[in-house]
Each structure stands twice: as C-alpha cells, then as structure tokens.
Chains A and B, each alone.
Chain A
Amino acid sequence: MFEARLLQGSILKKALEGIRELITSGNWECSSAGISMQGMDPSHVALTVLMLQNDLFDQFRCDRNVTLGLNHATFSKILKCAANDDIITLKAEDQPDECNLLFQSANDDKTSDFIIKLTDIDQETLGIPDTEYAATVKVPSVEFQRICRDLSQFGDTIIISVKKGCVEFSGTGEIGSAKIALKESGNVDDDEKVSVEMDKDTPCSLSFASRYLNYFTKATSLSDTVTLQLCPEHPLVVSYDIGDNGSLKYYLAPKIEE
C-alpha cells in the first residue's frame, strides 16, 4: 500500500510543469524515503531528476517499494484539474496497474477523485557520479528565466562563464550578439541575491543548448532561487529546491566547443 498526502498540492503541479515537455513518461519510484523520478529527453541530451522526500508530505505510507509508470501528458492533464491550494493525495496498491489521485479543496467543500492508468516503462536508471564542481552560482530563478529567454533570440547556444565574483551569459547569432553579466551581491540575505563560489578561482566557461535551458526554466515557480553548477567537460547542473525536502535537478550535456 502506498499513500502520500501533500498539503501544498501546487508543488506537484509545478514540478510536472518542469518535467512534462522534457520527458514523455517516467517511472515514479515510491519507497519509504519518498518519491523519485529520473528520465532523459528523447534526444538524450538532458537528464531530469525529481526528488520528493517523505517529509514533504504530511502523511506518507509506503509498505513496499512501488513503481508508478506515468504518462506525463496524462498526469499533467489530471493535475490541471486541481486548484493551486488543493491538498493532493496519491494512492496505489502494492503492485499497481493504476494510481488514484484525490484532490481536496482547502476548505474541504469539494473533493475530486481521479484514476490514472499506469504503463510499463522500460527505462534505464543512470548513475550520477559525485563531482567536485569548479563553480557554483545561485541566482534568482526569475532572473535566470529571463536571461535564457532573452539570449535565445540570438542563437541556439548560450555560453555560461564564471569568473571571480561574476557570472556571464552570452549568445551570438546572425542578428548580433548579447552578453549579460551578473555580479555577486554584497551581504544581502534575500532571494534577490547572486552568489558565486569558485574552487581555486579558475575561470570556467561552457556552451549549452538554449532550448534545453528554456525547458528547465519551466520549473521557475518551484523556487525563488536556482543553483547552477559547472565543471569543465561535465554536464551543467541546474537545481530548483523544493523547500527543504525535495528538488528538481537537470543535468545538461555541454555542446562541443568549436
């Protein structure tokens, strides 16, 4: 028996917004630790990893590990039937062929009950090695969304460069070029803060497909800040924290430098 009740049902709605255009369907692995889902886009350029720990839920029960093979277009259609302030409960049997979704309005005057049929998804799980990143940058998620959108007008590649105290995003194309630099904020302790941490103060610069960065920013509403981690010759990590008990992370393979 699996049952998970999420008071802040909007979290699930927002998380799926950040997933559904990248991964058509995925195995949502439920265990006593929580719910996780990993998947690649059809071109195998980006890996998306969602983690919802049991503490994120106000009620969580998972007697045996359960795999929910979900079609994300269908899942998204059903979640759109939930209001932003609804409480969402997911329920499934031990070896399920369907999953039950229950939406309760905040004042408990409306309940909606849905059943989604599960599919067998033959999907390999990739191992993500521990990496010491050369640079870790935190920026307001709305700012990152805007930069990715603005630079996409110039070409299909965005170069992210980190040097001491500064992160620079640039793009070049037929119409011209653009360069947007964010300087590290002073001692401001709020979500507007930009922080740049570097290992060994070595500048780091990598090129990425703007299309994928724009897909990732669909998760903007999950968190006020986004963390970017870079390492030469490694995938970029773009992380949105879901409170203290969850995260949506994207790993994006770099483009080959010309």
Chain B
Amino acid sequence: MPGQRSITSFFSSP
C-alpha cells in the first residue's frame, strides 16, 4: 500500500 509503513519496521523478532 502506498504511504503505508510496515509493522515489522517497529517490532522485530526477538
């Protein structure tokens, strides 16, 4: 989706 950030850019795999 244009202009939409990904949730994985905030939360990462431990």
Counting chain A residues whose Cβ lies within 8 A of the other chain, the interface size class is: 20 to 34
In the docked arrangement, what's the CA distance between A40 and B9, Å?
13
Q: Which A residues lie within 8 Å of B11 (CB)?
A: 47, 126-129, 235, 251
* Count of inter-chain pairs, beta carbons less than 8 A: 54
Tell whether, in the assembled complex, residue B3 and residue A255 are in contact, meaning their CB atoms are under 8 Å apart: yes
The number of chain B residues with a CB under 8 A from chain A is: 13
Q: Which A residues lie within 8 Å of B4 (CB)?
A: 43, 45, 209, 253, 255-256
Does A46 make an interface contact (CB < 8 A)?
yes
Interface residues of A, dominant DSSP: loop
In the docked arrangement, what's the CA distance between A234 and B7, Å?
9
B1-14 with Cβ < 8 A to chain A = 1, 3-14
In the docked arrangement, what's the CA distance between A129 and B7, Å?
13
Does A108 make an interface contact (CB < 8 A)?
no
Q: Which A residues lie within 8 Å of B8 (CB)?
A: 40, 44, 126
Tell whether, in the assembled complex, residue A40 and residue B7 are in contact, meaning their CB atoms are under 8 Å apart: yes
Q: Which A residues lie within 8 Å of B10 (CB)?
A: 234-235, 251, 253
Q: Which residues of B contact A (CB under 8 A)?
A: 1, 3-14
Having A45-B1, A47-B11, one finds 18 other A-B pairs with CB under 8 Å, namely A43-B1, A44-B6, A45-B7, A47-B7, A125-B13, A126-B7, A126-B11, A126-B13, A127-B11, A127-B12, A209-B1, A235-B11, A252-B7, A253-B7, A254-B5, A255-B4, A256-B4, A256-B5
